[in-house]
Amino acid sequence: MNFFLTPEQQDTLDTWLDEQNKIACEKQLNDPNLPESLKKTLQEERERGLEVPIHNHGYGYYSVSFTPTQFGIRIYAHHHVTGTSFKICDLDNAEESLLETRKINPEINDVIYQREVTVV
């Protein structure tokens, strides 16, 4: 199964990542526990126009999750350095979406699931 971002979703993700990377880089530059050699690397990268925080290269600094639901695909991004998550796509009106789906598949379950998500 493959999932892809639309060009608009990719633009949204890129904008959010730029904002989060600036926050993360600023925090890291002011972190007294970060070694000076890493701060120097971070500062040099910033001077070249790159805002990418120091991160574990084993798992990267962000992830994107695609969660198929009966209402469509929920897409969230999580920035591992800042610890924040962002809603790229989550159907806000699940009931309306369910009605659209019923036109295609009249057998669909009538249950609308409640969900509680905290998004920054």
- What would the pLDDT profile of 84-95 be if each residue is shown by its tens digit? 999 998 665 544
**Structure token digits, residue 95:** 């009931």
Going by DSSP bridges, is the β-strand pair 62-69/84-89 parallel, antiparallel, or unpaired? unpaired
Domain annotation covers residue 109: no
Tokens describing residue 47? 């001077």
In-domain check, residue 44: yes
In a domain, 114, yes or no: no
Residue 13 lies in a domain: yes
Distance of CA 59 to CAs 28, 56, 63, 71, 78, Å?
18, 6, 9, 30, 12
Asked which of 17-26, 41-50, 94-103 is least confident by mean pLDDT, the reply is 94-103
Judged by DSSP in three states, 108 sits in coil
Does residue 42 form part of some domain? yes
Tens of pLDDT, residues 27-79? 999 999 999 999 999 999 999 999 999 887 888 889 999 988 877 788 999 99
- 49, part of any domain: yes
pLDDT at 91: 65
**Domain range for residue 27?**
7-104
